[in-house]
Structure 1
Amino acid sequence: MLKSSMKSFTSLLAGALLMGQALLAQAQLPEFTELVKEASPAVVNISTRQKIAERALSPGMPDIEGLPPIFRDFFERNIPQMPQVPDGRQREAHSLGSGFIISNDGYVLTNNHVVADADEIVVRLSDRSELQAKLIGADPRTDVALLKVDPAGEKLPTVKLGNSNDLKVGEWVLAIGSPFGFDHSVTAGIVSATGRSLPSESYVPFIQTDVAINPGNSGGPLFNLQGQVVGINSQIFTRSGGFMGLSFAIPIDVAMDVANQLKSSGKVTRGWLGVVIQEVNKDLAESFGLDKPAGALVAQIVEGGPADKGGLRVGDVILSMNGQPIVMSADLPHLVGGLKPGSVAKLEVAREGGRKNLAITIGSLPDETEGVQPSVAGAEQSSNRLGVAVAEVTEEQKSALDIKGGVVISDVLDGPAAMIGLRPGDVITHLNNQAIDSVKTFTKVAAALPKNRSVSMRVLRQGRASFITFKLAE
């Protein structure tokens, strides 16, 4: 009897534990149905039409006009392009994306790449009605575009806007969009990282998620569990063309700042420091006497720019701005770009083994310009342990490259220079943290280089500067 009672008690206990675990698991999983129901009406599908001049077919190539768009686009990118057909024939290119309504009078946010170069933009609402959209403005640097539709006196449904700065890694998020044209598809995941920098983007601290994002999701909203938009789904990392678990969204704070500027003035103004920076790796940190690889190394300064006027120097390592640490060099453009021109930025920099504080008045970001490739004239052989022949930089080259001194490489011989990838035409302006103003100075500094220790060298190639490191063996 006792044995039977113990057996029954054990069974009841086991059952209770299983039920408790099931209830706990259920309590921990998010519920998205109400969120989707409330938010979906303000999410829209965006389609564009663009007229493209026909091109003559390459000899032996098939006619691709009748192919589905996905295959036609592939062939257009990969087959040789012929001149445009002289009779001016045109065809239409179509694209699909997503967006969301931010005001009941018809303002819509999406990605710039969804609507770029479009001749016609159509916004399809959740009730499948379609409205012609006007492009108010676009900002390629952040990939944000602002559209306006005319709701004909009606008040459109709108999304609730959140604060992307409050996002935490591991937090649940949800995307609504039109992947491959399937309207109002819902996918969910977690925040994988915040403040993520991508190689091709300098002014957006991306939100990285594992939410399934595919072509057509671009421009759609990313929601938190409170139903607030915290980002615009913009990019994926892929090796196959499809989703691979890495998605990137533009923080809504960044997007709304851009949208407000586009709405008020039609353009976006950003802060500008006037420097070219690079990452500080272990070898560079050693060569500059830093305890650890961190900060943004100033490789180049625009003459007359804010950094130049504020006393920043080539070779300085920016460690913090306005009290915010610069861990990776890509952290700096986000911070500078978010400042208003005319505001003052307080920088802490590492210089010549010490620390220095600078106050720099931020300028306005200008259009990008191309660098200048120096020519090599009057080359003079220089005996050095690097294995390069160098010549004086002419006054014309100094003016074109915006530099005050340096030597230009005329030939690369066998040795360390060849191993680190130096080329004829490169200009060396600094070696072992010393400015190079002539062939004589270069030869003297090169002869005194230490052995078996990281040594830095500042090199200009096609007008762009960077620091590289190397070691001389015994």
Structure 2
Amino acid sequence: MTRHGTEPLLETHDTSGKESVARLSPWALVGIVGLVIALLADAPLQGADTAPTVEEQAVAQAKSLSIAFRNAARAVIPTVVQVRTSQQRKPKDPLSDLFGGPSIPNDGNREMGLGSGVIVDPSGVVLTNHHVVENADTVTIQLPDGRVYPAEDVHSDPDSDLAVVRFHPEVPLENVAKLGDSDALDIGDWVIAVGSPFELEGTVSAGIISARDRTLPSVGRARFLQTDAAINPGNSGGPLVDLDGNVVGINTAIFSRNGGYQGIGFAIPINRAKWVMQQLLEYGKVRRAYIGVSIDKVTPPDAEVLGIPLGRGVIVNRVFRESPADKAGLQVDDVILSFDGVSVAAPGDLQEVVERAELNKPHELVIVRDGKQMKLSISVELMPETSQLARRMEQNESEVPDKPRKRHYDKDLGLMICDYDRALGRTLGVDVLGGVVVISADTGKPAHRSGLRSGMVILRAAGERVADVDALLAILEKADLEQGIVLEVADRAGRQVIRLKTAE
């Protein structure tokens, strides 16, 4: 029954011989369902998503990086090959040391070598290191699936330590490496190294880019990427790869005291390798341009004397006769700031941009001479073969005439000086092109008080290059020595700037 039109929440009915049954009205059902929903919303549900903990986030990030490594490795491993070499080992003939001349023929033994390489063209082109195939009688390429092919052509460049090996597969290869952009790399970027260290093919190690633009005395024309990814014997020629699976370098060398991995490895940047590879494939050798100068970095004393910012440009130490630089009017002590709009901050910068320059075409040099910036037009030429270049350098050396060393003693300064020459430079341990040698500086006199010492070589005075004693005397004669003049000097320890003045 109802009361004033209001339905009861719970209504009971008697049924003869049956249990009493409770019936929910529709409005009651709505209310109870709402109450249950509210209670459930306030209570934590079993299995519901919750915010990840710091530890869970760290694991997730590690897994994400692991997946990136995995994908990069999967992309490049099928493109990495073993480069196997052999050559005749010829034991040294002890009689040749006694009597000279050619060695007595000897069969010797076969010396086997193993390196790595990376497939860069489906027709069968492998990029590797020069030192992997150097002096080899035979070269074979073993693919990851075990197929072995003899090398048909091998072209290499010792100056960059790069080589290309051609072989002929039955059908075009499916797996070819993607070549990336090494200029986009930065210190701290993750990379992986792939190769066959100790004949363990397809070995992957991980690390970061530790440094850029490293130089090695064993490779004259290369600036390396440094990495702490493990590189060991057998890795040479294999790829250094970014997390996108792109080859960014060719693994080349390690720094080690015991021959094994010690955390310092070096790879040739792929952008440089691309240019060398193209030259080797097109010409069978690398055709480099040159301008014919000897250059050095600008030292703090150079910058102070020449009045240029430190870290900009390279200083010209020598201009070879009849070279492109000589024809263009480049002079000793010029500071080269840029070549064709590319800024130069170190000798390697200029070397790299010049060697790739188009031959027999005018290029723009921006230089500083006598404190003034100016432009020169220069037409680069093909660099002579190493032997020809060495002969030209020897000719330049022989053109410097021998002459008696002039001496001079300045009583007021307490300074004994003489002309510099190469023989005296070797004795002093100072290899420079010219200058004035300090024979002695009297204790208590201005020269000694200013810091000049026996064995120093004065290179510049008041910003001018000092060629000999007469040149230095001419500069001193017109200088205000009470205020002092700046001298750039060199000794066994290096170069420095000294202010020579008479006032105490």
TM-score range, shorter chain: 0.7 to 0.9
| Counterpart residue number, 2:309 | 291
- Max Rg structure: 2
Count of residues in correspondence between the two structures: 424
Of 407, 419, 430, the residue aligned with 1:390 is 419
Letter in 2 for 1:322: D
Which of 234, 237, 240 is 1:219 aligned to? 237
Aligned to 1:301: 319
Q: Deviations over 1:66-100 (max 9, x none)?
A: xxxxxxxxxxxxxx999886353423333221111
2:248 aligns to what?
A: 230
In structure 1, C-alpha distance between the alignment counterparts of 2:210 and 2:345, rounded to whole Å:
19
Unmatched tracts of structure 1, length 5 or more = 7-11, 59-79, 394-404, 423-427, 460-466
1:381 aligns with 2:407: yes
Do residues 31 (structure 1) and 58 (structure 2) align?
no
Amino acid at match of 2:409: S
> Which of 14, 22, 28 matches 2:59?
22
Residue 329 (str. 1) matches residue 347 (str. 2): yes
C-alpha distance in structure 2 between counterparts of 1:125 and 1:430, whole Å = 60
Check conservation: 1:388, 1:417, Cα contact below 8 A: no
Give, as a single letter, the amino acid of the residue that structure 1 aligns with 2:419: V
Cα deviation for residue 118 of structure 1 reads: 1.2
C-alpha separation in 2, matches of 1:207 and 1:15: 38
1:440 has 2:465 as partner = no
Superposed displacement of residue 434, structure 1: 3.2
Query: Which residue of structure 2 lines up, in the alignment, with residue 40 of structure 1?
Result: 77
Secondary structure of 2:326's counterpart equals helix
Q: Which moved more, 1:229-238 or 1:275-284?
A: 229-238
Corresponding position of 2:9: none
Partner of 2:338: 320
Determine if contact 1:103/1:156 at 8 Å carries over to the other structure.
no
Q: How does 1:150-169 map to 2 (within 5 A)?
A: 150-153=168-171, 155=173, 157-169=175-187
Distance 1:192 1:392, change over 3 A: closer
Deviation at 1:315, TM superposition (A): 0.7
1:386, CA displacement in angstroms?
Answer: 6.4
| CA deviation vs aligned residue, 1:215-269 (integer Å, no higher than 9, x gap) | 2111111112221212111122333333232222112222122122211221211
Give per-residue Cα distances to partners, 1:134-180, cap 9 Å, x unaligned: 34311111111111112244636321222223323322211111122
Q: Structure 2 length normalisation: TM-score?
A: 0.72
**CA drift at 1:468:** 4.6
- For 1:434, the aligned partner's letter is E
Whether the 8 Å contact between 1:233 and 1:248 is mirrored in structure 2 is: yes
Q: Given residue 79 of structure 2, which amino acid in structure 1 is its aligned partner? A: A
Q: 1:419 to 1:135 in 2, by over 3 A?
A: farther
* Identity between Structure 1 and Structure 2 (%): 32
Is 1:246 aligned with 2:264? yes
Per-residue displacement from partner, 1:191-218 (whole Å, max 9, x unpaired)? 2333444455453342222211122111
Aligned pair 1:259/2:277, yes or no?
yes
In 2, the alpha carbon distance for the partners of 1:363 and 1:186 equals: 43
Distance 1:352 1:473, change over 3 A: closer
Contact 2:230 2:263 in 1 (8 A): yes
Mapped to 2, the partners of 1:214 and 1:233 lie a distance apart of 10
**1:50 is paired with a residue of what secondary structure?**
strand
Shift of 1:116: 0.9
Look up the SS of the partner of 1:383 in the other structure.
Answer: strand
Quick one: distance in 2 between partners of 1:429 and 1:157? 59
1:133 counterpart residue number: 151
Q: Shift of the alpha carbon at 1:185?
A: 1.0
TM superposition shift of 1:408: 8.8
Among residues 180, 202, 205, which one is paired with 1:184 in the alignment? 202
**Are 1:455 and 2:487 counterparts?**
yes
Letter in 2 for 1:151: P
Distance 1:94 1:181 in 2: 12
Alpha-carbon distance in structure 1 between the residues aligned to 2:255 and 2:469: 46
Larger RCO, structure (CA 8 Å, separation 6 or more):
1
* Secondary structure class of the residue paired with 2:407: coil
Paired residue for 2:498? 471
Change (3 A) 1:106 1:339: same
| 3-state DSSP of counterpart to 1:109 | strand
Matched with 1:63 is none
> How well do the aligned residues superpose, as a CA RMSD in angstroms?
3.9
Q: In 1, distance between residues paired with 2:249 and 2:89?
A: 32
Matched position secondary structure for 1:259: helix
Which amino acid in the other structure matches residue 456 of structure 1? Answer: E
- Describe the SS at the equivalent of 2:409: coil
Whether 2:80 is the aligned partner of 1:54: answer: no
CA contact 2:86–2:110 (8 Å) conserved in 1: yes
Structure 2 CA distance for partners of 1:469 and 1:106, relative to 1, 3 Å: same
Q: 1:320 to 1:37 in 2, by over 3 A?
A: same
Equivalent pair of 1:280/1:296 in contact (CA under 8 Å): yes
CA distance in 2 between counterparts of 1:190 and 1:407 reads: 46
1:239 and 1:30, CA in 2 relative to 1: closer, same or farther beyond 3 A?
Answer: farther
Pair 1:429–1:192, CA change in 2 (3 A): closer
Deviation of the 1:432 alpha carbon: 5.0
Contact between 1:272 and 1:341, CA under 8 Å: does it hold in 2?
no
Among 81, 88, 93, the residue aligned to 2:106 = 88
Shift in CA distance, 18/439, structure 1 to aligned 2, threshold 3 Å: closer
8 Å CA contact 1:202, 1:330 repeated in 2: no
Indicate whether 1:108 and 2:126 are aligned.
yes
Is the 1:295–1:318 Cα contact (8 Å) retained in structure 2?
A: yes
Provide, for residues 19-65 of structure 1, a one-character-per-residue CA deviation record: whole Å limited to 9, x for no partner: 2343244335553223323321221111222223212579xxxxxxx
Does the CA contact (< 8 Å) of 2:417 and 2:436 recur in 1?
no
User: Quick check: 1:136–1:263 contact (8 Å CA) kept in 2?
Assistant: no
TM-score normalized by the length of structure 1: 0.76
Local SS of the residue matching 2:347: coil
> What is the CA-CA distance between 1:437 and the residue it aligns to?
6.2
**Aligned residue type for 1:31:** A
Name the amino acid aligned to 1:299.
Answer: N
Q: What do residues 330-386 of structure 1 show as CA deviations (whole Å, max 9, x unaligned)?
A: 322122222222344333222212222233222222233154476855444333676
- Tell me the alpha carbon deviations over residues 252-303 of structure 1, each in whole angstroms, 9 at most, x when there is no partner: 2221221222112212112212211111121111111123343211111122
Q: Distance in 2 between matches of 1:45 and 1:340?
A: 36
> Structure 1 residues 102, 441: CA separation in 2 closer, same or farther (over 3 Å shift)?
same
Verify the 8 A CA contact 2:487 2:500 in the aligned structure 1: no
Gaps of 5+ in 2: 1-41, 44-48, 423-432, 442-447
